[in-house]
Structure 1
């Protein structure tokens, strides 16, 4: 059983003779034009890298160090050794002159005063609350015992007057309604049904006919303009696009695609050519300049350097080490003499120092060394 799928062949679109005829000359022309550009580009890239490694990067580092030395470090020093201590001093001074007195004033003056004011306000509030409750109770009594009975009496009187006036006005309203109906409403309905409605229908019929006529005329004009525009503009434009622009566009698309492919292929080929030329120039430079310099260094300068090292530098270094050793010995002797002179001077002024008292050792003394003729047992002792 085959577990791996076989590679699927890539589908390629069929190419016509026009594509094949365009591809070869375009690639030749593009290769001739691109090779100098690619070589110049590679030369510029190598020059830029060399310039970056040898000039721009050291100059940038030196400029960065100079900018730090001129701008950053002075500000850091001013900040660290001037502004920060000054700010700390001002903070301590502000704390001592403002914060501590303000805290003391708040704690021992404003807080007791505020508590006293709150207690007084609370007492005044309780007094106003009791006063409000008394006023509220008085107003409730006036409302319940005085205003409510008076309101009920006024309402009863008004209801009686309303009933009397309603009975009188009902008859008058019926007469007025009958007069309005037969003097206004009935004639208005007759005028609407027999005069206004037929006239309105006739006007609407005329307007519909006029609108249909105008619509028919506009439709005819629009159809005529449509065919005129289609014959004069659309059909020529379609023919121009179908028989001229589309074939020319296809040819230009093929030429552009092949030109782009040729540019990519020529750029890659030019890169290989440029690489080969660069390697040839590098080998030529190595055989003309580097190898002779290396040969001179190995065969001439190295033996001369060895001779100079063995004949001059090593004896000079040995002599310098001997001089340094003698100097160190002289300095050690001078230090020892100075130490001895200080001890003699101290002994002359203060006398001999007291000898140290022997301290009794608590450990038992050790036995003698055991030899062949000695013994530690009682039977073999002499």
Structure 2
């Protein structure tokens, strides 16, 4: 019986399976029979272990766990709570108070009344020094710098006027002794030699490219003919069919395992119910019948004929014993009183003391006061 409602909507169609061949049908039946024969003892053993485990869980492990939980709470949790509540928290509060009194308050006092005034004084001194340095820079260093710059400009102008002719001569010599020969050497010697070397390098590169391409093509076709085509043929004509066959066998074995597990569960349930019914009719019902028809009347008879008269007799014996002990205690008390009277004489009776409270027998009237404050 399902406890959850199926979702509203159109009924879902079962997945349509592809048509199966005769090989699959021929493999399925023997595989399922063999798997059922192998799985049935395992499922029955598993169900027996489940029943034993549930019985142990309900009768042994759960009470043991509760007892261990209570014991752990009594031995660890409650002592730790008491330690935290009555030791750690008061110690922490006392330590916090000590830190505040011995460290925080002195630090705050020293910061407020020592460091802050000293800092203000240092800041005022630094501002004074900065103001003095700014005055020196503006009134002394800046005029000196302007004067030095004017002097350097004058010296540079003089040197420039003197060195123009020398610079022109040096430039003419460098041009005709260095630049012109270097340009001729580059144009008529280095450039042709570089072009020849580049042409030779391009030819060598093309030759190497052709050689490498030819060797690659030869190796490609050799590997294709000797390795790829045999591996492809092996995969296509051997491994793929074998894999499909093994996949079919594995799928059928898996479905057979599931089917056999469900059938074995039903068989195990039926066997369990049969054994439970057999145990009930062989052991429980005879014990119940014997308890209801034999032991209960015998117990009632024993209770009414033996136990209740014995209880009444025991109560009467106890009552007589208590009365005898009370009489003996009273006799002993009287004997002690007689012995004390013979040895020490009669004891004087105490004189009655007038009570200020009204007696119980007197009634309050209009002509007489009976209160404790106005009584005569």
Q: Do they superpose with TM above 0.5?
A: yes
RMSD of equivalent CA atoms? 4.2
Asked if residue 199 in structure 1 is aligned to residue 190 in structure 2, the reply is: no
* Structure 1 runs not aligned, ≥5 long: 332-346, 361-382
Distance 2:148 2:260 in 1: 114
Shift of 1:263: 0.6
**CA–CA separation in structure 2 for the residues paired with 1:198 and 1:113:** 86
The DSSP-based 3-state class of the residue aligned with 1:273 is helix
Cα displacement (A) at 1:170 = 1.2
* Aligned mates of 1:158, 1:104 — CA distance in 2: 64
Give the corresponding residue for 1:250: 244
**Distance change (3 Å), C-alpha of 1:112 and 1:89:** closer
Alignment of 1:353 with 2:355, yes or no, is yes
Distance 2:209 2:122 in 1: 89
Q: Deviations over 1:350-378 (max 9, x none)?
A: 63533449497xxxxxxxxxxxxxxxxxx
Partner of 2:297: 303
- 1:58 is displaced (CA, Å) by 3.7
1:72 pairs with 71, 76, 79, which one? Answer: 76
Task: Rate the CA distance shift 1:48–1:117 in 2: closer, same or farther, 3 A.
Answer: closer
CA shift in 2, pair 1:170/1:72, >3 Å: same
Deviations 1:135-172 (A, max 9, x none): 755664445xxx61x55444444323222211121111
Partner of 2:332: none
Could you tell me which residue of structure 2 aligns to residue 19 of structure 1?
A: 24
2-side partners of 1:15 and 1:293: how far apart?
Answer: 58
The residue number in structure 1 matching 2:57 is: 52
CA shift in 2, pair 1:348/1:13, >3 Å? farther
1:11: Cα distance to partner?
1.8
CA distance in 1, matches of 2:41, 2:155: 120
Given the alignment, which residue of 35, 42, 61 partners 1:30? 35
Shift of 1:275: 0.9
Aligned to 1:162: 156
| Structure 1 residues 103 and 279: alpha-carbon distance in aligned structure 2, compared to 1, 3 A threshold | closer
For residue 369 of structure 2, what is the aligned residue in structure 1?
none
Higher RCO (Cα < 8 Å, 6 or more apart): 1
Change in CA separation of 1:316 and 1:25 when aligned onto 2, cut-off 3 Å: same
**Cα deviation 1:54-96 (Å, max 9, x = unaligned):** 3333444445555556x438x719x74x886566886798799
Equivalent residue, structure 1, for 2:216:
222
Secondary structure, counterpart of 1:30 in structure 2: helix
TM-score, L = length of structure 1: 0.71
Structure 2 unmatched ranges of 5 or more: 1-8, 327-348, 367-376
Describe how 1:164-179 pairs up with structure 2 within 5 A.
164-179=158-173
Taking the aligned partners of 2:13 and 2:101, their CA distance within structure 1 comes to: 90
Give me the whole-angstrom Cα distance separating, in 1, the residues matched to 2:32 and 2:43: 15
Shift of 1:42: 1.2
Compute the displacement of 1:175 (Å). 1.3
Inter-CA distance 318–76: structure 2 relative to 1 (3 Å threshold): farther
Q: Secondary structure at the match of 1:15?
A: coil
Residue 287 of structure 2 corresponds to: 293
| Alpha-carbon distance change, 36 to 195 in structure 1, aligned in 2, over 3 angstroms | same
**Distance apart, 1:264 and its partner CA:** 0.5
Distance in 2 separating the partners of 1:303 and 1:253: 71
Match of 1:279 in 2: 273
Using the TM superposition, name which of 116-125 and 157-166 deviates more.
116-125
Give the TM-score of the pair, scaled to structure 2: 0.72
Alignment of 1:2-13 (within 5 A): 5=10, 8=13, 10-13=15-18
CA shift for structure 1 position 126: 5.1
Cα separation, 2, equivalents of 1:113 and 1:225: 87
Number of corresponding residues: 330
